[in-house]
Amino acid sequence: MLLQHRKNIYGVLLCFILSGLCSSVFAQSRTELEKKKKQLNQDIEYTNKILRQTQQEKAASLKGLRVLNSQINTREKVIGTINKQITVITGEIGEKNRNISSLQQQLAQLKKEYANMVLFAYRNQSAYNKLMFIFAAEDFNQAYKRMKYLQQFGTYRRKQAEYIERTKKALNLKVMELNSDKKEKGTLLTEEQKEKQTLTKEKVKQTQVVGQLQSREKNLRQEIAKKQREAQKLNKAIQDIIRREIEEARKKAEEEARRKADAEAKAKGTTAPTTTPKTASGSAVLSSTPEAAKLTADFVSNRGRLPWPVEKGVIVERFGVHPHPVLAKVEVNNDGIDIKTNPGAAARAVFGGEVIAVTSVFGEYAVIIKHGEYFTVYSNLRSASVSRGQKVTTKQSIGTISSDAEGNTELNFQVWKGQVKMDPEYWLAN
């Protein structure tokens, strides 16, 4: 009986442990999803503010449409996050139902065993019966075991009662948690439905704005052509600046290698080599010094965690080639990402480094900062507050972002590894 009792107690304990582990995993997942949803809702709130400002304009604008598209994209992410929350809670509900069923079975078994123990104790409550139980043993060894059994019997009865009470409390707690999860799931389903209704309205608005803009195709094509010219000029300026940086770094590396070779030859009493010592090829030469190598490694280790180049903003155009939001069969290419922010907002360095250029493109400024082998570019600035050769720190203001006649304030932010363009969105904190 005691052996079976131990097995059942172990079963209850195992149930508690597994239940606790599952709850911990689910809780962590739910917390992360709730945090993500909160951030997305903050983005939506900020985008709504920008949309209200944009809607005050008499005519629909391409920039307003880009903000609306960003809003729709964020809204879809919110709905996706809510779906994940519902999936997690549904999994928790299933797990809790299984835990409750297991606890109910364990409780029934514990009560049954406890009843048998009470009946046994009642039948053997007198000292005479206890002695008869011991003397009825087949040998001395069995008699000794029966005596020990009687000594431990009372202790096990008390423990059995404690485990029954503990199991009841655990069962009641799981039932309460289950009811709370069901209520939360219902709230999320309602929230999801509301977000879907809002998304439908936004898409209707999107269709209307696209229709209005399509009637101004000529103006849109002129805007695209102007933006492409600006992008090409900026791209050429960046490539030339980076190429010069690589060439200068290569020359310095070669000079340092030649100096070391001369010193070694002099120490050995031999003739210095006439050929140019080999150095790192391509942009890797930018990490040829220990300081530069550390800066490169630190920049890479912060991928996905870099602060945004503005204090507050939303991405209105992403990296790479993608279809134009209005014109059919027209593609646009962005070497970085366009971030819409508040008028008068400052651009901030996303990581510590050295300013290698402050250049002017069509009357606007662009600041290029070197982080070892990597470069970050901040363009469409009305003014720059840094200069070439200056060291900057993370989140340091480097200039004021320009605003157009309608008050639209957008920063174009780029990340380069040597002369290779990279998607900045993968580098910034989510």
Query: In this structure, which amino acid lies at residue 332?
Result: V
pTM > 0.75 = no
| Per-range mean pLDDT, top range of 11-25, 268-282, 333-347 | 333-347
Higher pLDDT, 5 or 297: 297
| Per-range mean pLDDT, top range of 22-26, 246-250, 406-410 | 246-250
Q: 409 and 403 in contact (C-beta within 8 Å)?
A: yes
CB atoms within 10 A of CB 229: 12
Q: Please, what is the Cα angle at 343 between 342 and 349, to 5 degrees?
A: 70
Q: Give the pLDDT of residue 2.
A: 44
CA distance 129 to 115: 19
CA distance 186 to 181: 9
Higher pLDDT, 75 or 7: 75
Q: Please, what is the Cα angle at 429 between 425 and 430, to 5 degrees?
A: 80
Q: Is 356 helix (H, G, I), strand (E, B) or coil?
A: strand
Q: Give the pLDDT of residue 55.
A: 58
| Per-range mean pLDDT, top range of 16-30, 46-60, 199-213 | 199-213
Q: Give the pLDDT of residue 230.
A: 83
pLDDT class of 366 with cuts at 50, 70, 90: very high
Q: What would the pLDDT profile of 186-224 be if each residue is shown by its tens digit?
A: 888 998 999 999 899 988 988 888 888 887 778 878 888
Check pLDDT > 80 for residue 279.
Answer: no
Check pLDDT > 90 for residue 31.
Answer: no
Q: Give the pLDDT of residue 48.
A: 78
Q: Is 372 helix (H, G, I), strand (E, B) or coil?
A: coil
Beta-bridge mates of residue 245: none
Query: In this structure, which amino acid lies at residue 360?
Result: S
pLDDT class of 277 with cuts at 50, 70, 90: low
Extract the tokens encoding 118. 């009470």
* Residue 235 burial (C-beta neighbours within 10 Å; 0-12, 13-18, 19+): middle
Query: Measured between alpha carbons, how far is residue 386 from residues 343, 378, 389 in Å?
Result: 20, 12, 9
Q: Is 361 helix (H, G, I), strand (E, B) or coil?
A: strand
Check pLDDT > 90 for residue 36.
Answer: no
Higher pLDDT, 332 or 304: 304
CA distance 224 to 221: 5
Radius of gyration of the chain (CA): 36
Helix H or strand E segment including 222: helix 217-268
CA distance 28 to 42: 21
Check pLDDT > 70 for residue 152.
Answer: no
Mean pLDDT of 135-148: 66
Q: What would the pLDDT profile of 317-341 be if each residue is shown by its tens digit?
A: 999 998 888 887 788 889 999 999 9
Check pLDDT > 60 for residue 81.
Answer: yes
CA distance 400 to 357: 16
* CATH hierarchy code of domain 227-426: 2.70.70.10
User: DSSP string of 95-151?
Assistant: HHHHHHHHHHHHHHHHHHHHHHHHHHHHHT-SHHHHHHHHHTSSSHHHHHHHHHHHH
| 213 Cβ neighbours under 8 A, 6+ residues apart | 60, 61, 62, 65, 220, 326
Q: 40 and 72 in contact (C-beta within 8 Å)?
A: no
pLDDT class of 388 with cuts at 50, 70, 90: very high
CB atoms within 10 A of CB 174: 22
Check pLDDT > 60 for residue 6.
Answer: no
Q: Give residue for tokens 């439908």.
A: 200
Q: Give the pLDDT of residue 379.
A: 94
Mean pLDDT of 243-248: 90
Long-range contacts of 136-143 (CB under 8 A, 24+ apart): none
The total number of residues shown for the chain amounts to 430
Mean pLDDT of 356-370: 91
Q: Output b/e per residue, 182-215; b: 16+ Cβ within 10 A.
A: eebbeebeebbeebeebbeebeebbeebbeebee
Q: Give the pLDDT of residue 3.
A: 46
Q: What would the pLDDT profile of 155-172 be if each residue is shown by its tens digit?
A: 666 676 677 777 778 778
What residues does each domain of the chain span?
Answer: 2-214, 227-426
Q: What would the pLDDT profile of 84-109 be if each residue is shown by its tens digit?
A: 888 888 888 888 788 777 777 777 77
